[in-house]
């Protein structure tokens, strides 16, 4: 079968490897769809996890996956052949696609020590598998929104509307938030944000951000000078400028929710943080959000479809990677015959 492995910095290959077989506690999943994540692109650039001594070598890639169970170990409970399942990579013993010995850009995925409603979740009836594969990125976005806890009257700005930022727009809209401003360099992604519920969109560099947010959200009160009325700034961009701008513009008591990874240390003006009484919150993964996403009574459907800009067959994997690196894409989905 085929399996995508990272062999070194910017050296990613589609290798031919033996098909796995299930041990007594394992499940084999025939992968149907797996999304390309921003972390996949980072791992490729770094040649692995980026942490010395951490991660398999070569490192299998891919973690946003859904598929069909084809083999069940004799000690495993709750699974049957033909069951449609979603992978929760961070709840698997070998953190699938994130440095472990398995990755989901493959024909058949070995899930070791499989437990239902932990490492694997059943796909709701009627949900297409390429939509089910969005559960992982939508879980990341939902956890960020849950951490910020916006109310319907909260004035929100989402910096960076790649797949995770777009997911945040979706969840903010479903919470009933009435003012959602999306900010990005890509007009293509901003159009997707509008389809998902952004009430205004701003292209980076075209408008004065402070003035425009002041017009949209009103003036805010700050003991350190002019401020905007934004209640919550969401950082899905990972840019030092975003953090600096948010702190500069913030009113008294505003929140800054950070989801994007900042690869290098940055300087923060903590005097402004203290005097303005800002709340800076971190958000990582989806510790409780998988069941929330899967069981959302409104389903994912057409809104989730708007997240996917491109769909490629597995034999076009390198073309799919090139597309995922482009600002003209949102979520790139790999599908398996």
Q: What length does the chain have?
A: 337
> Can you give the pLDDT at residue 247?
97
How is residue 116 annotated by DSSP? B
Which one-letter DSSP state was computed for residue 79?
A: -
- List the domains of the chain with CATH numbers: 2-134+307-335 (3.90.180.10), 140-282 (3.40.50.720)
- Angle subtended at Cα 150 by Cα 167 and Cα 205, rounded to the nearest 5 degrees: 60
The series of mean pLDDT values per 10 residues for the chain, 337 residues long, is 97 98 97 96 92 89 98 97 97 94 98 97 94 95 98 98 96 96 95 95 94 97 96 96 96 97 88 97 95 79 85 98 93 95
CA–CA gap between residue 103 and residue 106 (Å, rounded): 7
pTM of the model: 0.94
Q: What per-residue confidence (pLDDT) applies to 263?
A: 79
3-state DSSP assignment of residue 271: helix
Any residues with CB less than 8 A from the CB of 234 and at least 6 apart, and which? Answer: 144, 148, 156, 157, 158, 159, 165, 168, 257, 259
230, 231, 13, 224: which is closest to 103 by C-alpha?
A: 13
**CA atoms of 288 and 237, how far apart (whole Å):** 23
CA 194 to chain centre: 18
Q: How far apart are CA 22 and CA 166, in angstroms?
A: 37
Question: Which H or E run contains 181?
Answer: strand 179-184
CB 50 within 8 A of CB 42: yes
């Amino acid at each position: 079968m085929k399996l995508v492995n990272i062999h070194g910095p910017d050296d990613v290959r589609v290798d031919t490897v033996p098909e796995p077989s299930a041990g007594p506690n394992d499940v084999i999943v025939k992968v149907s769809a797996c999304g390309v994540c921003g972390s996949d692109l980072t791992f490729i650039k770094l040649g692995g996890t980026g942490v010395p001594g951490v991660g398999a070598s070569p490192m299998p890639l891919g973690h946003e996956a859904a598929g069909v169970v084809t083999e069940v170990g004799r000690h495993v409970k709750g699974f049957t052949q033909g069951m449609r399942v979603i992978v929760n990579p961070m709840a698997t013993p070998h953190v699938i696609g994130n440095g472990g010995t398995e990755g989901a850009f493959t024909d058949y995925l070995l899930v070791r020590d499989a437990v239902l409603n932990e490492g694997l979740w059943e796909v709701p009836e009627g949900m297409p598998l390429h939509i089910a594969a969005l559960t992982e990125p939508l879980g990341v976005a939902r956890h960020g929104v849950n951490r910020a806890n916006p109310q319907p009257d909260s004035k929100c700005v989402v910096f960076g509307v790649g797949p995770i930022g777009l997911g945040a727009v979706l969840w903010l809209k479903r919470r009933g938030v009435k003012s959602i401003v999306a900010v990005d360099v890509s007009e293509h992604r901003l159009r997707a944000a509008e389809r998902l519920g952004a009430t205004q969109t701003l292209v980076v560099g075209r408008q004065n951000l402070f003035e425009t947010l002041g017009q949209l959200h009103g003036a805010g009160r700050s003991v350190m000078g002019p401020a905007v009325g934004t209640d919550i700034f969401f950082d899905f961009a990972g840019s030092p400028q975003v953090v600096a701008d948010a702190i500069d513009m913030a009113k008294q008591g505003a929140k800054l929710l950070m989801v994007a990874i900042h690869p290098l240390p940055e300087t923060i003006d903590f005097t402004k943080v203290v005097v303005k009484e800002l709340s800076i919150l971190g958000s990582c993964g989806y510790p409780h959000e998988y069941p929330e996403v899967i069981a959302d009574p409104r389903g994912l459907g057409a809104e989730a479809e708007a997240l996917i800009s491109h769909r490629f067959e597995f034999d076009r994997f390198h073309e799919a990677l090139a597309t995922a690196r482009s600002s003209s894409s949102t979520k790139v989905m790999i599908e398996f015959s």
